[in-house]
Structure 1
Amino acid sequence: MNYVAIQWPWMLLLLLAIVPLAGLLARARKKRAALRRKLGLEPTKGEFGRDALRVIAMVLLVLAMSRPGYAPERRSVSQSGRDVVFAIDVSRSMLAEDAHPSRLEAAKQGVRDALEGFGTERAGLVIYAGSATILCPLTYDYDFVRYMLEQVSPRAVDFGGTTVLSAVEKSVDNVFSDERSGMQDLVVLSDGEDHVPDTKRVAELLESRGVDLLLVGLGDPTSSSRIPIENEEGGKSYLKQDGDFVSTRLNEEVLRGLAEDCRGASFVAPGTAAFDLGDLYANFAMDKPAEGAVGADSFVVYREAGFGLIAVALVLLLLGGRMGRAGIGVMLMSLAFLQPMRAESVVFDEARALQVEGKFDEALEAYGEVEGQTSFQTAAIRFNQALCYLNRAEGLAGESPGGALEAARQAQRCFLEAARLDPGLERAGRRLDSTAVRISAYAAALKEKEQEEQALQEKLDKIIEHLKELHEKQSELRTKVAERLPKRGSNSSPPASGEGEEFGREQGSLKSEAQSIEGEMTALDQEMLAGMPEGTPPEMSMMRVPLRLMTELLGAQDKAREALAEWSRWAESAAQQQVAILKIEEILAILEGGDSGESEEGEDDEGEWDEEGDWEDYEDSEDGMPSSMPMEGDLAAGSEMAPLPVPNYSAEELLMEEQGNMQFREQQRAKGQAGKVEKDW
Structure 2
Amino acid sequence: MSPFAFQNPSLLALLLTLIPVGWLMLRARKRREIVRRQMGGSTNQPSSLRDGLRLFALLLLLLAVARPGIFPRRHSVTQSGRDVVFALDVSQSMLAKDAFPSRLEAAKNGIRDALDSFRSERVALVVYAGSANILCPLTHDYEFVRYMLDQATPRAVDFGGTTLLSATEKSVDNVFDSERKGMQDLVVLTDGEEHGDQNKRVAELLQENETGLLIIGIGDSTVGSRIPIESDDGESDDGEPDVLKHDGHVVMTKLNETGLQQLARMSTDATYVSAGTSAFDLAGTYAQYAINKPIAGTAGGETYVVYREVGLLLIGIAIAMLLAAEIAGHLSGKHFSTREPTSNPSPSLLLIALLSTIGWNTVNAEDTSLTSQFETAARLQNSGKTSEALEAFDAIESQWLASSLTPTQLATIRFNQGLCHVSLAQEQAEAEPRQALSRAQIAQNCFLEACRMNPRFVRAAMRLDPTASLIENYIQLIEEEDEREQQLQEQMQNLLKLLKELEEKQTELRNEIPGRPNQNTRSRRGQSGVEPPPSAPDSASSDAKRFRQTQRSLHDEGSSIRQIMRSIDQSISLQNEAPLSDSEVNDSSQPQVSVLEEPLRLMDQVVDAQEQAIGKLQQWNSWPAGRDQQLVAIKKIQEILEMLSSNDSGESDEGEWDEDAEYDEMMEASDSEEAMMSSMQGQGDFASGSSMQPLPVPNYSVEDILMEEQGSLQFRQQQRAKSNQANVEKDW
In the alignment, which of 551, 576, 589 is matched to residue 597 of structure 2?
A: 551
Match of 1:137, SS? Answer: strand
Could you tell me which of 250, 255, 267 is aligned with 1:250? 255
Aligned equivalent of 2:667, options 590, 615, 620:
620
Distance (whole Å) between structure 1 residues aligned to residue 114 and residue 123 of structure 2 = 10
Answer with 1 or 2: which has the greater Rg: 2
The AA in structure 1 aligned to 2:561 is L
What residue number does 2:243 align with? 239
Query: How far is 1:125 from its partner?
Result: 1.2
Query: How many Å apart are 1:248 and its aligned residue?
Result: 0.7
Post-superposition offset of 1:139: 0.5
Q: How does 1:113-512 map to 2 (within 5 A)?
A: 114-115=114-115, 120-129=120-129, 132-154=132-154, 161-162=161-162, 164=164, 167=167, 175=175, 186-194=186-194, 214=213, 216=215, 217-228=217-228, 232=233, 237=241, 239-241=243-245, 244-251=249-256, 268=272, 270=274, 272=276, 274=280, 276=282, 290=296, 359-361=392-394, 378-379=407-408, 381-399=410-428, 400-403=435-438, 405-407=440-442, 409-410=444-445, 412-413=447-448, 416=451, 428-429=457-458, 431=459, 436=462, 438-486=463-511, 496=544, 497-498=547-548, 499-512=550-563
Q: What amino acid maps onto 1:553 in structure 2? A: P
State how far apart, in whole Å, the 1-side matches of 2:408 and 2:372 are: 18
1:125 corresponds to which letter in structure 2?
L
Task: Give the conservation status (yes or no) of the 8 Å contact 2:89–2:128.
Answer: yes
Residue identity matched to 2:506: V
Could you tell me how far apart the structure 2 residues matched to 1:672 and 1:279 are?
Answer: 39
* SS, match of residue 555 in structure 1: helix
Q: 1:40 aligns with which of 36, 39, 42?
A: 42
Q: 2:643 & 2:425 partners in 1: Cα distance?
A: 39
290 and 380 in structure 1: CA distance in 2 versus 1, 3 angstrom threshold: same
Which 10-residue stretch deviates more, 279-288 or 241-250? 279-288
Q: Which secondary structure does the structure 1 equivalent of 2:66 belong to?
A: helix
- 2:654 and 2:198 mapped to 1: Cα distance? 49
Matched pairs, number: 571
Bigger Cα displacement from structure 2, 185-194 vs 516-525: 185-194
Whether the aligned pair in 1 keeps the contact of 2:144 and 2:452 (CA below 8 Å) is: yes
Deviation at 1:45, TM superposition (A): 10
CA contact (8 A) 1:383 1:418 kept: no
Change (3 A) 1:531 1:54: farther
Deviations 1:64-118 (A, max 9, x none): 3599xxxxxxxx9656766443221122311334456643244334434654675
Following superposition, the deviation at residue 460 of structure 1 comes to: 3.3
Pair 1:524 & 2:528 matched: no
Aligned AA (1:556): L
Q: 1:647 to 1:281 in 2, by over 3 A?
A: farther
Displacement of 1:363:
5.0
Contact preservation (8 Å) 1:85, 1:171: yes
Deviates more, 1:250-259 or 1:96-105: 250-259
**In the TM superposition, what is the alpha-carbon distance from 1:247 to its structure 2 partner?**
0.8
Does the C-alpha gap of structure 1 residues 639 and 219 become closer, same or farther in structure 2, counting only changes over 3 Å? farther
Distance 2:562 2:424 in 1: 47
Aligned-partner Cα distance in 1 for 2:696–2:305 = 52
CA RMSD of aligned residues (A): 6.2
1: CA distance, partners of 2:403 / 2:499: 69
Describe the shift of the 1:651–1:459 C-alpha distance in structure 2 as closer, same or farther (beyond 3 A).
closer
3-state SS, counterpart of residue 189 of structure 1: strand
Provide the rounded CA distance (Å) in 1 between the counterparts of 2:87 and 2:651: 57
Q: Matched residue of 2:88: which SS?
A: strand
Secondary structure of the corresponding residue to residue 398 of structure 1: helix
Aligned-partner SS, 1:125: strand
Distance change in 2, residues 1:510/1:252 (3 Å): farther
Q: Which amino acid aligns with 2:62?
A: L
* Counterpart residue identity of residue 561, structure 1: V
Query: What amino acid is aligned across from residue 252 of structure 2 in structure 1?
Result: S
Name the amino acid aligned to 1:473.
L
Could you tell me how far 1:179 is from its partner in structure 2?
Answer: 7.7
Contact 2:95–2:102 (CA<8 Å) still a contact in 1? yes
Normalization by structure 2: what TM-score? 0.58
1:276/1:49 Cα in 2 relative to 1: closer, same or farther (>3 Å)? closer
**Residue 64 of structure 1: which of 46, 63, 66 is its match?**
66
What amino acid does structure 2 have at the position aligned with 1:138? L
Letter in 2 for 1:40: S
DSSP 3-state at the match of 1:239: coil
Give the deviation of 1:562 after TM superposition. Answer: 4.2
Residues 78 and 51 from structure 1, CA distance in 2 versus in 1: closer, same or farther, beyond 3 angstroms?
A: closer
Per the TM alignment, residue 517 of structure 1 is displaced from its structure 2 partner at its CA by 1.7
In 1: Cα distance, 2:394 partner to 2:409 partner: 18
C-alpha distance in 2 between matches for 1:603 and 1:84: 66
Give the Cα–Cα distance (whole angstroms) in 1 for the partners of residues 249 and 447 of structure 2: 40
Identity of aligned residues (%): 35
Query: What is the alpha-carbon distance in structure 2 between the residues aligned to residue 551 and residue 39 of structure 1?
Result: 113
Name the amino acid aligned to 1:468: Q
After TM superposition, the structure 1 = structure 2 runs for residues 73-112 of structure 1, keeping only pairs within 5 Å, are 83-99=83-99, 102-112=102-112
Identify the range of structure 1 (203-212 vs 558-567) with the bigger mean alpha-carbon deviation. 203-212
Q: Is 2:592 aligned against 1:567?
A: no
| Stretch moving more, 138-147 or 668-677 | 668-677
Give 1:514's match in structure 2, choosing from 559, 565, 570.
565
Q: TM-score, normalised by structure 1?
A: 0.62
- Aligned residues of 1:96 and 1:225 also touching (Cα < 8 A): yes
Kept after mapping to 2: 8 A contact 1:352/1:363: no
Query: Are 1:579 and 2:643 an aligned pair?
Result: no
